[in-house]
Structure 1
Amino acid sequence: MKKIGLIGGMSWESTELYYRKINEAVKHHLGGHHSAKLILESVDFHGVMEMQHAGDWQGTANVLIECAQNIERAGADFLLICTNTMHKVAPEVIAAVDIPLLHLADATAERIIADGHNKVGFLGTKFSMEDDFYVGRLKDQYGLDVITPNKADRELIHRVIYDELCLGKVEENSRVEFLRIIDGLAEQGAQCIIEGCTEIVLLVNQSHTDIKLYDTTDIHADVAVNLALAD
């Protein structure tokens, strides 16, 4: 079994999901008392969040680079960044270590294409929805037609992620709003929805809608386990 490296803490609520999903999947595949071999480097999210909103992405890159190098020194065979938004600095992280990074957008896109979809709705932080590092990758490298919500709804989603979900708050009125937005994207032709922030699944999951949802946390964890257990 290969050793998985996780950069987490952004937020710890979703990192907890990664840890549980990865270990549950290893146990499912191997049975018995098996669990994953992994290394978790968890950051203090407060400082990272402040740098994000100040536009100091080089500062956030420096934090993740240090984490990645610590993980590499600890013997991990490959690396995951356990947050969609921080894939904005994935190129800097990749350049700083010799172990491979399992890119979250790639894992998600490959799953969507395998399921036969080509037009998708995307929910995430404003950074992920409005910058090109994630949606652009889905379009340019995988040929997906990606729809994002309007500006007001992007602001709402961003606020709920940072002011509620990252603080462990799950509010019913926010769920209603997210489902409204998801319905709107489907009306625009989206065949499925990417939950492109690792906390969104805390609020909305497949039990809440008939529209196909792609939980990026679940996909990333699943692909990581498959890689860890591959010969």
Structure 2
Amino acid sequence: MQTIGLVGGMSWESSLVYYRDLNLGVQERLGGLSSPKLVLSTVDFAELTALEDAERWDRIGQLLGEAAQGVERAGADFLLLCTTTFHKVADQVAAAVDIPLLHLADVVAEAVRAAGTTKVGLIGTAVAMSDPFFIDRMAGHGVEVVVPAPAHHDYLNTAIYDELVHGHVIDRTRRRVVEIIDELWDDGAEGILVGCTELELLIRQSDIELPAFPCTTLHVNAALDRALG
């Protein structure tokens, strides 16, 4: 079994999901008392969000790169960033270490194409929806990504940062997000990328008509495939 390296803390709710689901996945696959070999380094989310607001992405990349180096020194065989938004600096993080980074967009694009889908909607943070870093990476795999109208970006961002990162799952927020997803369906989306770990706390397949691609779940499963393969 390979050792999975995690850079988390963006938010701690996201790190919790990664840790839990990696353990549950190994239990399901191997049974008994089996558990994954993990190395986890978490960052101060408040510091990173302040840097994000100031658009100091180079500094964010430096901090996450240093966290990744610590994970590498602790014995990780490959690396995951437990976040969608901060994959904006994934190339900078990957350059800071000598172990492979399992990029979220590559994993998600593979799952989308395996499902026979080429056009999907994305819900996530305002940065993930408005900045091309994730969308362009998906396009490189032949997957077109559409995002909600700009008028919805602040609402989704607020739902993530003011509610979900604190573990608050609110029914009225779920109903509003489902309405936003329905608009993406009208725009031609054939599936929905649940593109933020915290949004997976809110939106399940049973809530929507379109096929859901829960990005964190797909990332976890790909990590397990690699670690156990």
TM interval, shorter chain, is over 0.9
Q: Report the AA paired with residue 224 of structure 2.
A: V
Shift of 1:205: 0.9
Question: TM-score, normalized by length of structure 1?
Answer: 0.97
Question: TM-score, normalized by length of structure 2?
Answer: 0.98
Q: Report the AA paired with residue 36 of structure 1.
A: P
Kindly indicate whether residue 219 of structure 2 is the aligned counterpart of residue 229 of structure 1: no
Task: Give the equivalent residue in structure 1 for 2:155.
Answer: 156
Q: Report the AA paired with residue 161 of structure 1.
A: I
> What is the rounded CA distance, in whole Å, between the counterparts of 2:105 and 2:125 in structure 1?
14
> What is the rounded CA distance, in whole Å, between the counterparts of 1:223 and 1:117 in structure 2?
19
Task: Give the equivalent residue in structure 2 for 1:103.
Answer: 103
> What is the rounded CA distance, in whole Å, between the counterparts of 2:212 and 2:179 in structure 1?
14
Within-5 A mapping of 1:71-110: 71-110=71-110
Within-5 A mapping of 1:71-220: 71-139=71-139, 141-220=140-219
Deviations 1:135-154 (A, max 9, x none): 11111x11112111001111
> What is the rounded CA distance, in whole Å, between the counterparts of 2:216 and 2:61 in structure 1?
21
Deviations 1:38-59 (A, max 9, x none): 0010111111111111101111
Equivalent position SS for 1:52: helix
> What is the rounded CA distance, in whole Å, between the counterparts of 2:41 and 2:68 in structure 1?
8
> What is the rounded CA distance, in whole Å, between the counterparts of 1:149 and 1:56 in structure 2?
25
> What is the rounded CA distance, in whole Å, between the counterparts of 2:27 and 2:94 in structure 1?
29
Q: Which moved more, 1:202-211 or 1:220-229?
A: 202-211
Q: Report the AA paired with residue 86 of structure 1.
A: F
Task: Give the equivalent residue in structure 2 for 1:69.
Answer: 69
Equivalent position SS for 2:168: coil
Deviations 1:82-102 (A, max 9, x none): 000010001111111000000
> What is the rounded CA distance, in whole Å, between the counterparts of 2:167 and 2:63 in structure 1?
23
> What is the rounded CA distance, in whole Å, between the counterparts of 1:121 and 1:12 in structure 2?
26
Deviations 1:171-196 (A, max 9, x none): 21111110000111111111100011
Shift of 1:207: 1.9
> What is the rounded CA distance, in whole Å, between the counterparts of 2:20 and 2:195 in structure 1?
19
**Aligned residues of 2:123 and 2:193 also touching (Cα < 8 A):** yes
Aligned length: 229
Q: Which moved more, 1:150-159 or 1:66-75?
A: 150-159
> What is the rounded CA distance, in whole Å, between the counterparts of 2:165 and 2:73 in structure 1?
29
Task: Give the equivalent residue in structure 1 for 2:34.
Answer: 34
Give aligned-pair identity as a percent.
46
**Aligned residues of 2:135 and 2:144 also touching (Cα < 8 A):** no
**Aligned residues of 2:78 and 2:102 also touching (Cα < 8 A):** yes
- CA RMSD in angstroms, aligned pairs only: 0.8
Task: Give the equivalent residue in structure 1 for 2:57.
Answer: 57
Q: Report the AA paired with residue 63 of structure 1.
A: L
